[in-house]
Amino acid sequence: MCKVSDIRLQPLLLSLSDEYCSTAIVSTMGEHTLLNAAIAEAKLGLSESGIPIGSVLADSSGRIIARGHNLRVQTGDPTAHAEVVCIRNAGRRTDWHKLVLVSTLSPCIMCTGTSLLYKIPRVIIGENHTFRGAEDLFVAHGVQLINLNDSECIELMRAFIQARPHLWNEDIGIPEE
């Protein structure tokens, strides 16, 4: 069983094997392992009746230093998108320029702007089929953008959008008719 000091992660981790936990929390991780951690955050958000988008922030060795998921519904905060929550959870830092941001979905313009503000040089996204964010801004600012086109991320968002289209439209700023 994993031992995690962050109490909100403990229910999620109860179902994970010790092998996954040691990989996800202790050792250096590759892109897909980091994305799996972001997917776990997305599923946590969905289990809280929120929007299933998750994010992690990792250092140059691949160690996760912050996690976050969309909390807009849970908190009533319209800026509580996964990437912004994750960056907030990282706290005050001076090494932003050495970090990598991973998100299950292509970041919206607000989340893109936040990562550009802190000069995060590398962004990994799970998918951009269900929503294409401000990817052109990343490219224009020299950010390395990697799209993993992950089928689990795509299906998670497709199912959510189909089940709760009004909530999704609210999240991305599409007004009701």
CA dihedral angle for residue 36, residue 58, residue 154, residue 48, rounded to 10 degrees:
70
DSSP 56-122: EEE-TTS-EEEEEE--HHHH--TT--HHHHHHHHH-S-S-GGG-EEEESS---HHHHHHHHHTT--E
Say how far apart CA 14 and CA 56 lie, in whole Å.
20
Looking at the annotation, which residues are catalytic? 83
